[in-house]
Chain A
Amino acid sequence: EVQLVESGGGLVRPGESLRLSCAASGFSFSSYSMTWVRQAPGKGLEWVSSVDSGDSSRDYADSVKGRFTISRDNVENSLYLQMNNLRAEDTALYYCARDKSYYDVLTGFQTYHFDSWGQGILVTVSS
């Protein structure tokens, strides 16, 4: 069974840093791209960042670019999100998710979607 367990959240002041972790089990972690998605209280989902299986390609939402860094440890089966210079608007529940690929033999297209999600970890940025 695929399991993703986030940790590392908490209450911090604006400008401070926090490092989130996501422990993966039940699948071959090193074979999958991984993603962080966040959800502000009472709001919708927002994609934050994704990293490929080999940690060689990383993408970020404009709202966090330059402040957040995604990384992974394929030996420890863990995904990380280093969050620096945190702002009030970063307050959210942060989910880690697995990127699952699907190859359509009829069209030749390979697509991705987020097929497994953790339970989320709350990050609160407030003075």
Chain B
Amino acid sequence: QSALAQPASVSGSPGQSITISCAGTSTDVGAYADVSWYQQYPGKAPKVIIYAVTKRPSGISNRFSGSKSGTTASLTISGLQAEDEADYYCSSYTSSSTWVFGGGTKLTVL
């Protein structure tokens, strides 16, 4: 059950777009549509921002979008805003009937 691979940090200026990758394997990201992304502010619980690879929950800005190609999922945030500065985690179901999270990516808005 190795964690999905995410960059430790990404940064961007307000208004720019950034993409966070989430590399898995053929037994997790590559095998299932159960890929989701979570946003977490310091001292707060995580919040789902993308589920089923590309779907946004009600109330989540359309600046957030998800995609998947093979064994790698991606989260793109367009029109970066200061309030987007947070930690982001991907997650996937696995063929072992377990779940796995990515190591997390700290987004800094310059």
Q: Which residues of A come within 8 Å of B, CB atoms?
A: 35, 37, 44-47, 50, 59-63, 95, 100, 102, 104, 107, 109, 111-115, 117-120
Contact = CB atoms under 8 A, between A and B. Distances in A.
Contacts of A119: 45
Contact of B91 (A60, A107, A114): A114
Given A45-B104, A102-B52, A113 B89 contact: no
Nearest to A43: B104
Interface of A is mostly: strand
Given A59-B97, A102-B55, A111-B32, A95 B45 contact: yes
A111 B101 contact: no
A50 B93 CA distance: 12
Contacts of A63: 1
Interface residues of B, number: 27
B33 interface: yes
B63 interface: no
Contact of A44 (B32, B55, B89, B97): B89
A45 B45 contact: no
B99 interface: yes
A46 B101 contact: yes
